[in-house]
Structure 1
Amino acid sequence: MEWLLNLGYVGLFIGCCLAGSFIPVSSDVFLIGMLLAGGNAWICLIIGTIGYWIGSMTSYGIGWLGKLEWLERLKIKKTNIAKQKKYIDKYGVWVALFAWIPFLGSMSIFTLGFYKVKPKTSATLMLIGCFFRFFLWTFILKAALGELTELV
């Protein structure tokens, strides 16, 4: 995935978009790599957030279009589907705040889409959660490097 980092901000966007979907790559690696390569903290934060959010919205959209028969063909057990439904019933749209958690987030977002849980609110909470994640990583890295003034 080094070739994505060589693409600069475009590579950051693509990498974060893939990471936000079901593709098992780490958006953190792309963000930190870009920051260490001298990328502007705010530009990296915005591009990473938007890329990850679009990837998450893709998972939501696939879930929205999904059908129970498809899940059964993929050998996903009805008991797992029922567990996800209980999870969504319990926490509702707030699950979208945690879209950034690797793999678990993608599955939760897919499930929100599958059960057609408040699209606008889900999208907004996903965006907030993704921004928080990337801001936290940016803050930690810049603090470790003694470069917090770049964030002000």
Structure 2
Amino acid sequence: MDAVFQQLGVWLADSALTLLFVTGFLSATLLPGGSEAALLATLSLNQYSVTSIILVATLGNTLGGLTNYWLGLWIPNRTQDEKHGHKALQWINKYGYWALLFSWAPVIGDPLCLAAGWLRMRFIPCLILIAIGKLLRYAALVGLFAGFGTL
């Protein structure tokens, strides 16, 4: 059994896409971090297609955002205090589901996903809008780094 785990560890360590997925996931949770460096490093390898890189980063980052959504479901008190509420809560109250397009944004993005779960917003619209926002972000980063002709 140790050999299986050892082989798995070697595979994970050698795969830039796996690292990109993990950093994308972790950077979208409430933990601090960013996936931009991993995205650009993976892109600079010229080993994977641009589409694969964008999709893997988007998948990891979307699942990280959904983790925040699910954590929000565990928060029992849904009373809203507009005056003292977090900026993410104010955005969701003002823009509704559309605010989740900004789930990629630094500082506000993670709390947006958490607030969506806390407010018990419907899962499928949240999933779609979080994924679209994160996909557009990674496509823009790749476009800026490698040129929009690569998309």
TM-score where L is the length of structure 1? 0.79
Whether 1:36 aligns to 2:40 is: no
Q: Unaligned regions of 5+ residues in structure 1, if any?
A: 70-76
CA distance in 2, matches of 1:83, 1:139: 30
Preserved contact between residue 87 and residue 108 of structure 2 (Cα < 8 Å):
no
Q: 1:23 to 1:84 in 2, by over 3 A?
A: closer
Q: Unaligned regions of 5+ residues in structure 2, if any?
A: 1-11
Kindly, what percent of the aligned residue pairs are identical?
Answer: 23
Equivalenced residues, count = 137
Whether 1:67 aligns to 2:76 is: yes
Aligned to 1:120: 124
Q: 1:32 to 1:83 in 2, by over 3 A?
A: closer
1:104-143 per-residue CA deviation (whole Å, 9 max, x = no partner) reads 1001110111001122111100010010000011111112
Whether 1:92 aligns to 2:96 is: yes
- Matched letter for residue 63 of structure 2: I
CA distance in 2, matches of 1:24, 1:63: 18
- Matched letter for residue 98 of structure 1: F
CA distance in 2, matches of 1:44, 1:61: 26
Question: Counterpart of 1:139 in 2: which secondary structure?
Answer: helix
Question: Counterpart of 1:81 in 2: which secondary structure?
Answer: coil
Q: 1:43 to 1:5 in 2, by over 3 A?
A: farther
CA distance in 1, matches of 2:86, 2:25: 29
CA distance in 2, matches of 1:41, 1:66: 38
Following TM superposition, by how much is the alpha carbon of 1:88 offset from its aligned partner in structure 2, in angstroms? Answer: 2.1
Aligned to 2:141: 137
Aligned to 1:13: 21
Aligned to 2:7: none
